[in-house]
Amino acid sequence: MCNLFFMTPFRTRLKTIAFFSMIIGIGIIVSWIMILIQGDLPEGEIALGFHLFSEFFMAIVLLISGIMLFREMRWAKEINIGGLGMLIYSVTAAR
């Protein structure tokens, strides 16, 4: 299965990564909006502000870089690598 991904053309792989980045970015935004609407917040006010800023920033970077990858714009790959790095950090640092 993993071999199939590496055998596909490079442009198709970029579209897959772009789709993944956009779905994750939208999912993060939607999940935080749902959490904020419910009011089920485990953190203090200041810590929550920093946490929300970093999460929304990551989601926006993933969403914009995914769109840029679909349009094959300059700097799209570099920005997407940064966004995916933020995602990896967020997942590994989650409690």
Tens of pLDDT, residue by residue over 3-19, are 666 667 878 888 999 99
Give the number of other Cβ atoms within 10 Å of residue 84's Cβ: 18
Those residues whose C-beta lies under 8 Å from the C-beta of residue 5, and which sit 6 or more positions away, are 13, 16
Say what the pLDDT of residue 55 is: 94
Those residues whose C-beta lies under 8 Å from the C-beta of residue 57, and which sit 6 or more positions away, are 86
Closest CA to 60 of 80, 77, 36, 74: 80
| Whole-angstrom distance, CA of residue 62 vs CA of residue 21 | 5
The pLDDT of residue 34 is above 70: yes
The reported pTM is: 0.84
Closest CA to 59 of 28, 17, 95: 28
